[in-house]
Structure 1
C-alpha cells in the first residue's frame, strides 16, 4: 500500500495541473477572440465592450455581482434539488408500472410544453416575488430532461444482471436498488448536465419576468441604465457559472459511476 500511494499522488497532481492549464488556455483563447472581434469589426463599446472595461466593471461592482449571483445560485440549486427528487420518484414509479407511465406521460409532456413566460407570472401570484417563484420556474425547466434520461437509464438495464437477480429471487425493489438504479446513474448525470445549465437560465428568466433580485434582474437593470460594461460582466459571470456546473457534474459522474468502466 505504501508503494503505490506516493506514486499515485504525483499522477493526480499532474492530471490536475494539466486540466487547470487547459482551462487557462481555453479562457485565454476566448478572451483573445473577443478582443480581436471587437477591434476587427469595430463594434461600438455601447453594444459590446472589450474585455478590459468589462473586467474593470466586474472588479468595481464585485459586491453587487456577488450578492446577485448568490441569489440566483441559491434558487437554481434548490429548484434543481426539487426537480431531481421529483424526476427520480416519478421515473421509478413509471418503471414499476407501465400503465401508470402510459396514463401520466401525456400530462407530463403537456406540462413541459407550457411556456415558462406564462407560468412565471402565475407562480408569482401564488408565491410572491421571492426565491420561491424562481425555484418553481427552475423546477419546471429542469424536470423534463432529468425524467427522460432517468427513464431511458432504467429501461436500459443489463439483461444478464436482471436475470441473475431474478434467479436469486430478488424482489422488484431489490432489483431496482441493486441493478436498475445503479445502471441508470450515468443517464441521471447526463440529465443533470443538461438540467443544471437550464436551471441557471430558468432562474434568470424568472428574475427578468418577476423583477426579483438576481443576475437576471442585474442584467436587465444594467441594460436600462446603459451600463454596458456591468451588463457584460454579469453575462460573463452567468456563463462561467454554467460552465462550472457542467464540469462539476462531469466530475461527479466520474466519481460515482467509475465502476462502469
Structure 2
C-alpha cells in the first residue's frame, strides 16, 4: 500500500482535533441539559442546586476571583504531582533493582498511604504553615501511591524476551532498565498519572478546605457559609472541568509519547 493511500485513509490532525472538539461540546451540552432537566423535573430548590443559567452568571460575575483561586489550586496540584512523580519513579526503580528493599519497605509505604488525609493536613500546616507548601504536601501524599503501584507493575511486567536478549549481549542491569523496563513502564506511568492528577486536584482542594488556605476548596467553603449557592456551584463546576481536562491531557500525552507501542 502506498503512502498516498495511507494518508487518505488516516484523518488529518486538524480533522481529528475538530472531531474531538465537537465531541467535547456535545458532551458539555448533554450534561448541561441533563442538569437543567433534573433541577426542573425534581423541583430542587435553588438554594440547594441552582439551574445552569444562574451558575453561569455567577461564574462570569466572579471570573476574577475564580481565576485567582483556580491558579492557586492548580499550582499546588502541579507542584505536588511533580514531587510525587519524582519520588515514585525513584522508589519504583530502587524497588525494581532490589527485591529485598521492596519487601522491606513496601509495608511502610502502604502504612503511609493508609494515613487519613484529614489527619495529615493539620499536622502539615503546623510544620509548613498555612500556604501552598501544605497543599503540596497533601497532594504529594495523595498522588504518590497510584504512581508507585503502576510504575512497579510496569517495571516488573517488561518483555522477558527483550530482557533476556539484553542479558545475552552482556548488558548491565542499568542498561536493561534503561532500554527495556523503563520504556515498557511508560504506559503504566501515564495510567498512574491519570489517576493521580485527578486525585491531586481533590487533594489540593481538601487541604484548602481543612487549613483555610486560599484556593478553590476555600472558595467553595466560604461560598457555602455565605449562602452564595451559585458561586459555590460555579467553583464546583470549575474543579470538575479542571479534573476532566487533566485526564484528557494525560491521555493525549500518552498517545504522543508512547505511540511506538502501536
Shorter-chain TM-score range: over 0.9
Distance in 2 (CA, whole Å) between partners of 1:5 and 1:241 is: 39
Distance in 2 (CA, whole Å) between partners of 1:230 and 1:242 is: 19
Q: In the superposition, relative to structure 1, how do residues 255 and 37 fare at CA in structure 2: closer, same or farther (>3 Å)?
A: same
Distance in 2 (CA, whole Å) between partners of 1:232 and 1:40 is: 19
Q: Give how far 1:10 is off.
A: 6.5
C-alpha deviations, 1:152-203, integer Å up to 9, x for none? 0000000111011111111000110111000000000000000000000000
Q: Give how far 1:140 is off.
A: 0.1
C-alpha deviations, 1:200-243, integer Å up to 9, x for none? 00000000000000000000000000000000000000000000
Q: In the superposition, relative to structure 1, how do residues 260 and 207 fare at CA in structure 2: closer, same or farther (>3 Å)?
A: same
Q: In the superposition, relative to structure 1, how do residues 116 and 165 fare at CA in structure 2: closer, same or farther (>3 Å)?
A: same
Q: Give how far 1:11 is off.
A: 1.4
TM-score for both structures, normalised by structure 2: 0.97
Q: In the superposition, relative to structure 1, how do residues 5 and 68 fare at CA in structure 2: closer, same or farther (>3 Å)?
A: farther
Report the 3-state secondary structure (helix = DSSP H, G, I; strand = E; otherwise coil) of the residue aligned with 1:245: helix
C-alpha deviations, 1:97-123, integer Å up to 9, x for none? 000000000000000000000000000
Residue 198 of structure 1 is matched in structure 2 by 199
Q: Give how far 1:2 is off.
A: 14
Q: Extract structure 1 runs of 4+ deviating beyond 2 A.
A: 1-7
Distance in 2 (CA, whole Å) between partners of 1:112 and 1:123 is: 15
Residue 23 of structure 2 is matched in structure 1 by 22
Q: Give how far 1:3 is off.
A: 8.2
Q: Residues 15-164 of structure 1: matches in 2 within 5 Å?
A: 15-164=16-165
Q: In the superposition, relative to structure 1, how do residues 160 and 130 fare at CA in structure 2: closer, same or farther (>3 Å)?
A: same
Distance in 1 (CA, whole Å) between partners of 2:173 and 2:38 is: 58
Distance in 2 (CA, whole Å) between partners of 1:192 and 1:10 is: 28
Distance in 2 (CA, whole Å) between partners of 1:169 and 1:217 is: 57
Residue 3 of structure 1 is matched in structure 2 by 3
Distance in 2 (CA, whole Å) between partners of 1:17 and 1:2 is: 26
Distance in 2 (CA, whole Å) between partners of 1:24 and 1:16 is: 12
Where structure 2 has 5 or more consecutive residues not aligned to the other structure, the ranges are none
TM-score for both structures, normalised by structure 1: 0.97
Where structure 1 has 5 or more consecutive residues not aligned to the other structure, the ranges are none
Distance in 1 (CA, whole Å) between partners of 2:135 and 2:239 is: 16
Distance in 1 (CA, whole Å) between partners of 2:227 and 2:2 is: 61
Residue 169 of structure 1 is matched in structure 2 by 170
Q: Give how far 1:12 is off.
A: 1.2
Distance in 2 (CA, whole Å) between partners of 1:182 and 1:5 is: 31
Q: In the superposition, relative to structure 1, how do residues 89 and 41 fare at CA in structure 2: closer, same or farther (>3 Å)?
A: same
